[in-house]
With several copies, the nearest count.
Chain A
Protein backbone atom coordinates (compact mmCIF):
# COMPACT_ATOMS: atom_id res chain seq x y z
CA UNK A 1 0.00 0.00 0.00
CA UNK A 2 1.45 3.30 -1.17
CA UNK A 3 1.32 6.31 1.17
CA UNK A 4 2.48 9.85 0.51
CA UNK A 5 4.16 11.45 3.53
CA UNK A 6 4.87 15.15 4.06
CA UNK A 7 7.11 16.83 6.64
CA UNK A 8 7.09 20.51 7.58
CA UNK A 9 9.21 23.00 9.51
CA UNK A 10 11.74 21.45 11.89
CA UNK A 11 10.65 17.93 10.88
CA UNK A 12 11.46 18.60 7.24
CA UNK A 13 14.95 19.70 8.26
CA UNK A 14 15.45 16.54 10.34
CA UNK A 15 14.32 14.10 7.69
CA UNK A 16 15.99 16.03 4.91
CA UNK A 17 12.93 15.76 2.67
CA UNK A 18 9.63 17.57 2.41
CA UNK A 19 7.86 14.66 0.74
CA UNK A 20 8.37 10.90 0.53
CA UNK A 21 6.41 7.95 -0.71
CA UNK A 22 6.46 4.73 1.32
CA UNK A 23 5.10 1.21 0.99
CA UNK A 24 3.20 0.02 4.06
CA UNK A 25 1.45 -3.21 5.09
CA UNK A 26 -2.33 -3.10 5.16
CA UNK A 27 -3.65 -2.15 8.62
CA UNK A 28 -0.70 0.09 9.49
CA UNK A 29 -1.51 3.19 11.52
CA UNK A 30 -0.16 6.75 11.48
CA UNK A 31 1.84 5.81 14.60
CA UNK A 32 3.44 2.90 12.71
CA UNK A 33 4.36 5.30 9.91
CA UNK A 34 6.02 7.75 12.30
CA UNK A 35 7.93 4.90 13.99
CA UNK A 36 9.27 3.84 10.64
CA UNK A 37 10.71 7.29 9.96
CA UNK A 38 12.05 7.46 13.53
CA UNK A 39 14.02 4.29 12.83
CA UNK A 40 15.64 5.95 9.82
CA UNK A 41 16.06 9.33 11.59
CA UNK A 42 16.38 8.68 15.35
CA UNK A 43 16.24 12.42 16.21
CA UNK A 44 12.59 12.38 15.08
CA UNK A 45 11.56 10.17 18.02
CA UNK A 46 12.19 12.91 20.58
CA UNK A 47 9.68 15.13 18.75
CA UNK A 48 6.85 12.58 18.92
CA UNK A 49 5.02 14.37 21.75
CA UNK A 50 5.14 17.73 19.96
CA UNK A 51 3.95 16.54 16.57
CA UNK A 52 0.43 16.15 15.24
CA UNK A 53 -0.52 14.23 12.14
CA UNK A 54 -3.01 14.91 9.40
CA UNK A 55 -4.63 12.45 7.04
CA UNK A 56 -5.85 13.88 3.74
CA UNK A 57 -5.54 17.38 5.20
CA UNK A 58 -7.57 16.76 8.34
CA UNK A 59 -5.97 16.44 11.78
CA UNK A 60 -6.00 12.73 12.67
CA UNK A 61 -5.17 10.71 15.81
CA UNK A 62 -2.11 8.45 15.85
CA UNK A 63 -4.30 5.35 15.87
CA UNK A 64 -5.81 6.17 12.46
CA UNK A 65 -5.53 3.15 10.13
CA UNK A 66 -4.09 4.12 6.75
CA UNK A 67 -5.90 3.50 3.50
CA UNK A 68 -4.41 3.25 0.01
CA UNK A 69 -3.61 6.60 -1.51
CA UNK A 70 -3.66 8.50 1.80
CA UNK A 71 -1.68 11.72 2.13
CA UNK A 72 -0.23 11.86 5.66
CA UNK A 73 1.57 14.92 7.02
CA UNK A 74 3.56 15.32 10.23
CA UNK A 75 3.19 18.84 11.62
CA UNK A 76 5.23 20.54 14.34
CA UNK A 77 3.50 23.17 16.54
CA UNK A 78 2.03 25.77 14.19
CA UNK A 79 3.27 29.37 14.36
CA UNK A 80 1.43 31.32 11.69
CA UNK A 81 -0.01 34.76 12.23
Chain B
Protein backbone atom coordinates (compact mmCIF):
# COMPACT_ATOMS: atom_id res chain seq x y z
CA UNK B 1 0.00 0.00 0.00
CA UNK B 2 1.26 3.43 -0.86
CA UNK B 3 0.00 6.95 -0.28
CA UNK B 4 1.37 9.49 -2.74
CA UNK B 5 1.58 13.26 -2.39
CA UNK B 6 -1.94 13.47 -3.80
CA UNK B 7 -3.38 11.08 -1.26
CA UNK B 8 -3.76 8.45 -3.96
CA UNK B 9 -4.01 4.81 -2.91
CA UNK B 10 -1.99 2.26 -4.91
CA UNK B 11 -1.98 -1.43 -4.00
CA UNK B 12 -0.70 -4.71 -5.41
CA UNK B 13 -1.35 -7.92 -3.51
CA UNK B 14 -2.88 -11.37 -3.33
CA UNK B 15 -5.94 -10.57 -1.21
CA UNK B 16 -9.30 -9.92 -2.88
CA UNK B 17 -9.76 -6.29 -3.91
CA UNK B 18 -12.32 -4.29 -1.86
CA UNK B 19 -13.80 -1.70 -4.26
CA UNK B 20 -15.79 0.05 -1.52
CA UNK B 21 -12.66 0.99 0.41
CA UNK B 22 -11.02 2.36 -2.74
CA UNK B 23 -14.11 4.42 -3.59
CA UNK B 24 -14.39 5.78 -0.05
CA UNK B 25 -10.74 6.78 -0.29
CA UNK B 26 -11.20 8.96 -3.39
CA UNK B 27 -14.73 10.33 -2.83
CA UNK B 28 -14.70 13.73 -1.08
CA UNK B 29 -17.28 16.47 -0.47
CA UNK B 30 -15.82 18.69 -3.21
CA UNK B 31 -16.19 15.97 -5.88
CA UNK B 32 -19.07 15.88 -8.32
CA UNK B 33 -18.08 12.66 -10.08
CA UNK B 34 -16.48 9.32 -9.33
CA UNK B 35 -15.75 6.96 -12.24
CA UNK B 36 -14.64 3.41 -11.58
CA UNK B 37 -13.27 0.60 -13.73
CA UNK B 38 -13.61 -2.98 -12.54
CA UNK B 39 -11.63 -5.51 -14.56
CA UNK B 40 -13.15 -8.94 -13.95
CA UNK B 41 -12.13 -12.46 -14.86
CA UNK B 42 -14.26 -13.52 -17.83
CA UNK B 43 -15.43 -17.10 -18.20
CA UNK B 44 -14.07 -17.29 -21.75
CA UNK B 45 -11.14 -16.12 -23.83
CA UNK B 46 -10.70 -16.45 -27.60
CA UNK B 47 -13.74 -18.71 -27.74
CA UNK B 48 -12.50 -21.16 -25.08
CA UNK B 49 -13.92 -21.66 -21.59
CA UNK B 50 -11.52 -20.24 -19.00
CA UNK B 51 -11.05 -22.20 -15.76
CA UNK B 52 -9.09 -19.61 -13.84
CA UNK B 53 -6.25 -17.11 -14.20
CA UNK B 54 -2.92 -16.57 -12.53
CA UNK B 55 -1.25 -13.18 -12.36
CA UNK B 56 2.40 -12.62 -11.58
CA UNK B 57 4.32 -9.35 -11.41
CA UNK B 58 7.75 -7.81 -11.08
CA UNK B 59 6.26 -6.50 -7.87
CA UNK B 60 8.45 -3.59 -6.84
CA UNK B 61 8.64 -2.23 -10.40
CA UNK B 62 4.92 -2.78 -11.00
CA UNK B 63 4.01 -0.83 -7.88
CA UNK B 64 6.31 2.01 -8.94
CA UNK B 65 4.79 2.08 -12.46
CA UNK B 66 1.29 2.17 -10.96
CA UNK B 67 2.35 5.14 -8.80
CA UNK B 68 3.72 6.87 -11.90
CA UNK B 69 0.39 6.39 -13.66
CA UNK B 70 -1.49 7.95 -10.75
CA UNK B 71 0.93 10.89 -10.63
CA UNK B 72 0.60 11.45 -14.39
CA UNK B 73 -3.21 11.59 -14.12
CA UNK B 74 -2.90 14.67 -11.89
CA UNK B 75 -0.83 16.46 -14.51
CA UNK B 76 -3.06 15.42 -17.44
CA UNK B 77 -6.57 15.81 -16.00
CA UNK B 78 -8.41 18.08 -13.55
CA UNK B 79 -9.01 15.32 -11.03
CA UNK B 80 -9.10 15.06 -7.27
CA UNK B 81 -7.69 11.64 -6.39
CA UNK B 82 -7.01 8.15 -7.67
CA UNK B 83 -7.06 4.60 -6.31
CA UNK B 84 -5.55 1.72 -8.28
CA UNK B 85 -5.46 -1.87 -7.04
CA UNK B 86 -4.18 -4.92 -8.92
CA UNK B 87 -4.41 -8.46 -7.62
CA UNK B 88 -1.85 -11.26 -8.05
CA UNK B 89 -2.00 -15.04 -7.76
CA UNK B 90 -4.88 -17.30 -8.71
CA UNK B 91 -8.17 -15.59 -9.61
CA UNK B 92 -11.47 -17.34 -10.21
CA UNK B 93 -14.15 -16.42 -12.77
CA UNK B 94 -15.95 -13.22 -11.76
CA UNK B 95 -13.24 -11.99 -9.42
CA UNK B 96 -11.76 -8.51 -9.81
CA UNK B 97 -8.18 -8.44 -11.11
CA UNK B 98 -7.86 -4.66 -11.29
CA UNK B 99 -9.94 -1.81 -9.90
CA UNK B 100 -9.48 1.90 -10.56
CA UNK B 101 -11.45 4.75 -8.99
CA UNK B 102 -11.01 8.41 -9.95
CA UNK B 103 -12.77 11.36 -8.33
CA UNK B 104 -13.05 14.83 -9.85
CA UNK B 105 -15.13 17.99 -9.58
CA UNK B 106 -16.57 17.26 -13.06
CA UNK B 107 -17.30 14.05 -14.95
CA UNK B 108 -15.24 14.61 -18.09
CA UNK B 109 -11.93 14.55 -16.23
CA UNK B 110 -12.99 11.54 -14.13
CA UNK B 111 -13.92 9.50 -17.23
CA UNK B 112 -10.83 10.44 -19.22
CA UNK B 113 -8.43 9.86 -16.33
CA UNK B 114 -9.92 6.46 -15.44
CA UNK B 115 -9.74 5.32 -19.06
CA UNK B 116 -6.19 6.63 -19.41
CA UNK B 117 -5.17 4.82 -16.22
CA UNK B 118 -6.29 1.36 -17.33
CA UNK B 119 -5.03 1.83 -20.91
CA UNK B 120 -1.61 2.85 -19.60
CA UNK B 121 -1.53 0.12 -16.96
CA UNK B 122 -2.09 -2.52 -19.64
CA UNK B 123 0.81 -1.14 -21.69
CA UNK B 124 3.46 -0.32 -19.10
CA UNK B 125 3.02 -2.19 -15.81
CA UNK B 126 5.07 -5.42 -15.55
CA UNK B 127 2.27 -7.84 -14.71
CA UNK B 128 1.57 -11.08 -16.59
CA UNK B 129 -1.58 -13.15 -16.90
CA UNK B 130 -1.64 -16.90 -17.47
CA UNK B 131 -4.94 -18.32 -18.67
CA UNK B 132 -5.88 -21.86 -17.63
CA UNK B 133 -8.19 -23.84 -19.92
CA UNK B 134 -9.45 -27.40 -19.79
CA UNK B 135 -6.62 -28.53 -22.07
CA UNK B 136 -3.73 -26.46 -20.83
CA UNK B 137 -2.51 -22.97 -20.04
CA UNK B 138 -1.13 -20.06 -22.04
CA UNK B 139 0.44 -16.72 -21.21
CA UNK B 140 -1.99 -14.09 -22.47
CA UNK B 141 -0.99 -11.98 -25.45
CA UNK B 142 0.30 -8.70 -24.14
CA UNK B 143 1.81 -5.41 -25.09
CA UNK B 144 5.49 -4.56 -25.27
CA UNK B 145 6.11 -1.50 -23.08
CA UNK B 146 7.76 1.48 -24.77
CA UNK B 147 11.44 1.79 -23.86
CA UNK B 148 13.23 5.15 -23.77
CA UNK B 149 15.72 5.71 -26.58
CA UNK B 150 19.37 4.97 -25.89
CA UNK B 151 21.38 7.89 -24.54
CA UNK B 152 25.10 8.12 -25.41
CA UNK B 153 26.75 5.40 -23.33
CA UNK B 154 28.73 6.67 -20.35
CA UNK B 155 31.60 4.36 -19.46
CA UNK B 156 31.27 3.40 -15.79
CA UNK B 157 34.12 4.60 -13.58
CA UNK B 158 35.04 1.12 -12.38
Contact = CB atoms under 8 A, between A and B. Distances in A.
Residue from B58, B118, B121, B129 whose CB has the most chain A CB atoms within 10 Å: B58
Contacts of A29: 153
A75 B126 contact: yes
Contact of B121 (A1, A6, A54, A80): A80
Nearest to A57: B61
Given A76-B128, A79-B128, A80-B98, A8 B56 contact: yes
B153 A63 contact: yes
Given A10-B139, A61-B150, A65-B154, A77 B58 contact: no
A81 interface: yes
Interface residues of A, number: 31
Interface residues of B, number: 40
A59 B121 contact: no
B121 A73 contact: no
Given A65-B153, A77-B143, A78-B123, A26 B39 contact: no
Nearest to A79: B142
A42 interface: no
A54 B58 contact: yes
A31 to B, nearest CB: 10
B interface majority secondary structure: mixed
B76 to A, nearest CB: 19
A28 to B, nearest CB: 10
A35 interface: no
B155 A65 contact: yes
A60 B126 contact: no
Interface in B93-126: 97-98, 118, 121-126
Interface of A: 1, 6, 8-10, 26-27, 29, 50, 52-54, 57, 59-68, 73, 75-81
24 contacts: A1-B158, A8-B126, A8-B128, A27-B155, A52-B145, A57-B61, A65-B154, A65-B156, A66-B156, A68-B156, A78-B142, A78-B145, A79-B122, A79-B127, A79-B140, A79-B141, A79-B142, A80-B98, A80-B122, A80-B128, A80-B129, A81-B97, A81-B121, A81-B127
